[in-house]
Amino acid sequence: MSGTLAKIAEIEAEMARTQKNKATAHHLGLLKARLAKLRRELITPKGGGGGGPGEGFDVAKTGDARIGFVGFPSVGKSTLLSNLAGVYSEVAAYEFTTLTTVPGVIRYKGAKIQLLDLPGIIEGAKDGKGRGRQVIAVARTCNLILIVLDVLKPLGHKKIIENELEGFGIRLNSKPPNIGFKKKDKGGINLTATCPQSELDTETVESILAEYKIHNADVTLRSDATADDLIDVVEGNRVYIPCIYVLNKIDQISIEELDIIYKVPHCVPISAHHRWNFDDLLEKIWDYLKLVRIYTKPKGQLPDYTSPVVLPYCKTTVEDFCMKIHKNLIKDFKYALVWGSSVKHNPQKVGKDHTLEDEDVIQIVKK
């Protein structure tokens, strides 16, 4: 383990003292690839006996979405969590027994949202220290990450946390790079770019791939990509998670400063202690989670608007809806009647491939 860490430190030092220009871009690309490989070794160790029992940091996934809270100690994470969960929660914290983290589940607009405190991410978790690794595994399954910052010293913390998360292969508020990558058996590296590239050329791409022992592949660059983008695609284990920066303790600053903070993207100023601006935060959380609520309607009755079936925005077909309720439902499925914005007529008969939209009402007709 320590050997890997030493290597990482060495490469980071070399990158820091290398000037960035066209002549060194190639070399820097290689170093970046090496770094990514070493980091991956730290997160997923090779073989070895499993950790003994009693280490568990596995969190049962309950609810429709999961939000991870990250932040330095004493920025008010716990206060925020208990106040959010306290104000909006219907679930007692002791419903979960063996878990080290779940502080609560909140009900918001009919969706159950699980709030997780992710402890100890900051203190060198990506170097495999402590129980960082399990925390990372949980962090990667979140649908949204809230970075809690102290409004009086936000920027330094923000950088450190972002770097740590990037190191685990979590990309915040970004889309997967638009790069086609396909390994093949022969034919060398074939690079096609559909637009001008400022950083990557054939030589750099070949050397980065050679670092991964890939000598035959088709690479298509559909946007102006960086070496980091290419490495992300080759590693293939990156998760893209939306993120909101929560600036806490706004009761300690002036109104003018608050106006400036409001203009920063992905930012919500709050006071966890005084419970200021929680509704704004929840609204933003809802925006970023992009959940779709579907109401069910039993035959001959009014739709049930109290407990919607909540689907993630990428999986909203009628089939996904059936699978969410029970996997046997799709076997007896004949057609569905849908009311709402996704259909032209109300109600409209649809098949299992129809895509539903937020607040649609559905009635399943069985064979």
**Is 361 part of a structural domain of the chain?**
yes
**Is 51 part of a structural domain of the chain?**
no
Calpha distance 53→317 (Å, rounded):
40
Exposed / middle / buried, residue 106 (Cβ in 10 Å: 0-12, 13-18, 19+): buried
What CATH number should be reported for the domain holding residue 158?
A: 3.40.50.300
Task: Name the token pair of 259.
Answer: 């106006």
Tell whether 149 and 267 lie within a shared domain. Answer: yes
Angle in degrees, CA 9, 27, 205, rounded to 5? 115
What CATH number should be reported for the domain holding residue 330?
A: 3.10.20.30
Tell whether 321 and 342 lie within a shared domain. Answer: yes
Tell whether 72 and 148 lie within a shared domain. Answer: yes
Task: Name the token pair of 66.
Answer: 């999961």
- Neighbour count for residue 244 (Cβ, 10 Å): 20
Residue with tokens 């590296």: 189
Tell whether 157 and 184 lie within a shared domain. Answer: no
**Is 54 part of a structural domain of the chain?**
no
Name the percent of the chain lying above pLDDT 90. 0
Q: Which of 235, 252, 269 is the last residue of a domain?
A: 235
Which position has the higher pLDDT, 128 or 355? 355
pLDDT value at 13 more than 80: yes
3-class state of residue 156 by DSSP: helix
pLDDT in tens, 66-118: 888 887 766 667 777 777 776 555 444 444 434 455 567 778 887 888 887 77
Tell whether 168 and 181 lie within a shared domain. Answer: no
Exposed / middle / buried, residue 337 (Cβ in 10 Å: 0-12, 13-18, 19+): middle
Task: Tell me what pLDDT residue 94 has.
Answer: 44
Rg (CA), the chain: 24
Q: Which structural domain range is residue 17 located in?
A: 3-44+177-235
Contacts with 259 (C-beta within 8 Å, 6 or more apart), sequence order: none
* Total domain count, the chain: 3
Helices (H), 63-108: 77-88
Calpha distance 220→139 (Å, rounded):
31
Percentage helix, strand, coil, to 5, in the chain?
35, 25, 40
Calpha distance 304→297 (Å, rounded):
6
Task: Tell me what pLDDT residue 48 has.
Answer: 46
Task: Name the token pair of 262.
Answer: 């409001």
Which position has the higher pLDDT, 207 or 95? 207
Tell whether 121 and 244 lie within a shared domain. Answer: yes
Read off the pTM.
0.70
Tell whether 127 and 209 lie within a shared domain. Answer: no
pLDDT value at 311 more than 80: yes
Q: What are phi and psi of 307, to 5 degrees?
A: -125, 90
Helices 202-211 and 22-43: angle between axes, nearest 10 degrees: 20
Helices (H), the chain: 2-17, 22-43, 77-88, 132-139, 154-167, 202-211, 227-235, 255-262, 278-289, 318-325
Task: Name the token pair of 337.
Answer: 């009647």
**Is 357 part of a structural domain of the chain?**
yes
Angle in degrees, CA 184, 185, 186, rounded to 5? 100
Tell whether 164 and 97 lie within a shared domain. Answer: yes
Task: Tell me what pLDDT residue 226 has.
Answer: 80
Tell whether 23 and 158 lie within a shared domain. Answer: no
Tell whether 133 and 249 lie within a shared domain. Answer: yes
DSSP string of 333-358?
Answer: EEEEEEESTT-SSSSEEE-TTPBP-T
Are 116 and 66 a contacting pair, CB within 8 Å? yes
Calpha distance 145→147 (Å, rounded):
6
pLDDT in tens, 259-273: 777 777 888 887 777
Tell whether 152 and 218 lie within a shared domain. Answer: no
In the DSSP assignment, the letter for residue 49 is: P
pLDDT in tens, 211-227: 888 888 888 888 888 88
Task: Tell me what pLDDT residue 158 has.
Answer: 78
Task: Name the token pair of 302.
Answer: 């009014």
Task: Name the token pair of 198.
Answer: 């400022």
Are 219 and 191 a contacting pair, CB within 8 Å? yes
- The per-residue pLDDT of the chain, averaged, comes to 76
Tell whether 90 and 169 lie within a shared domain. Answer: yes
Q: What are phi and psi of 23, to 5 degrees?
A: -70, -30
Q: What mean pLDDT comes out for the span 224-236?
A: 81
Exposed / middle / buried, residue 298 (Cβ in 10 Å: 0-12, 13-18, 19+): exposed
Task: Tell me what pLDDT residue 248 has.
Answer: 79
